[in-house]
Each structure stands twice: as C-alpha cells, then as structure tokens.
C-alpha cells in the first residue's frame, strides 16, 4: 500500500522543522593577544582575540553581535562586532574584539579585589548567526573569576 500524500507531506514537514533548529550560541574558551592602546577622550582601547567553539552539528556564519563586559558587577565596556565569519561545525574559531574602556574604573575595581587576586568577569550579549540563509539572534552569557595575572598577561 502506498502512503497517502498527506502523511508524506507531514513527515517531510517534521523533518524540515527539526533540521532547522535554532543554533546554540558559541561557547567561550578564552582569549589571547590582549592589547591596550590610547583612545579618544582619555579612554583606553582594549583589544583581544576571543577563542570560541561552535557546539552545533552544522556550519554557521557569525554576522555580528554586541556584548557588555562587567568587572566585579560594574559595566566596564561595550563592544560591537560588525563582521562576517564562517564557522565550521563542532570546531573552534577566533573573533577579534575591541572596546573603549575607562582604565581608571577598571583599575579601581581590580584594586578592590587585589587581595583576592581575582576579579569577576561577566559578559552578556547577543550574536547574529546565519544558517542556510536563515538569520538567528542568540543571547549568550559568560561569568567566571579571572586571575589578575592572567588579565594583565596575554590571556588564556
């Protein structure tokens, strides 16, 4: 007996919608090559390269994003990423980021934690991803205590 047309269409629809699931946000694996330079208005430009991992079983394209960085629960910087990066499935990738920060604020937060030798780093943001021509916006959150020596050296 040949399956009816409705059953075949239903099964194809279920398969299509399950295959087009919303991508997961990239996972943070660390940073490298942290650099500082003088910025406008007495601010400092902090630049680094983030190491991330694509947890998805499919390739995606990073189409941009933005993030807020907090040091010890105080907003220390905001970064906007306006670039396009191809990301292979289940693979690590690197994203250059930079932001203007007030180093006096960051150092005062760091000095408050100097005796503990760690600062709490929190990053909240959204990334714009594209999979097979379909755009997605995915939130992400990262929070950890970071050794001050690691922040002042070249990173992880």
State the CATH number of the domain containing residue 148: 2.60.40.1820
pTM score, whole prediction: 0.69
In a domain? residue 17: no
Detail the DSSP E strand segments found in 7-154.
Answer: 27-38, 44-53, 60-71, 74-81, 85-87, 92-101, 118-131, 134-147
71-102 burial code (b ≥16 CB/10 A, e <16): bbeeebbebebeeeeebeeeeebebebbbebe
Q: pLDDT 10s digit of each residue in the chain, 156 long?
A: 455 666 666 655 555 544 556 778 888 888 888 888 887 777 788 888 888 899 989 999 989 999 898 878 888 888 898 889 999 999 999 988 888 877 776 666 666 555 666 778 888 999 898 888 888 888 888 888 877 665 555 445
Name the residue range of residue 94's domain.
22-152
Query: How many folded domains does the chain comprise?
Result: 1
In a domain? residue 51: yes
Q: Is the dihedral of CA 69, 105, 148, 47 positive or negative?
A: positive
Q: Could you tell me which of 66, 59, 55 has the C-alpha nearest to residue 85?
A: 59
Q: Could you tell me which of 122, 124, 140, 105 has the C-alpha nearest to residue 25?
A: 140
Gap between the Cα atoms of 81 and 93, Å rounded = 15
In a domain? residue 76: yes
CB 86, CB 59: distance < 8 Å: yes
In a domain? residue 6: no
């Amino acid at each position: 007996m040949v399956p009816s047309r409705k059953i075949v269409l239903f099964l194809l629809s279920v398969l299509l919608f399950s295959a087009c699931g919303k991508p997961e946000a990239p996972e943070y694996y660390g940073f490298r090559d942290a650099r500082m330079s003088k910025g406008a208005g007495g601010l400092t430009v902090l630049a680094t390269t983030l190491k991330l991992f694509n947890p998805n079983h499919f390739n995606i394209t990073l189409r941009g994003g933005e993030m807020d960085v907090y040091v010890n629960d105080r907003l220390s910087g905001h970064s906007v990423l306006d670039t396009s990066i191809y990301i292979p499935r289940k693979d690590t990738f690197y994203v250059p980021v930079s932001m203007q920060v007030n180093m006096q604020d960051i150092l005062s937060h760091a000095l408050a934690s100097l005796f503990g030798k760690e600062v709490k780093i929190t990053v909240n943001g959204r990334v714009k991803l594209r999979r097979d021509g379909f755009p997605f916006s995915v939130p992400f959150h990262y929070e950890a205590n970071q050794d001050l020596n690691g922040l002042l050296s070249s990173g992880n």
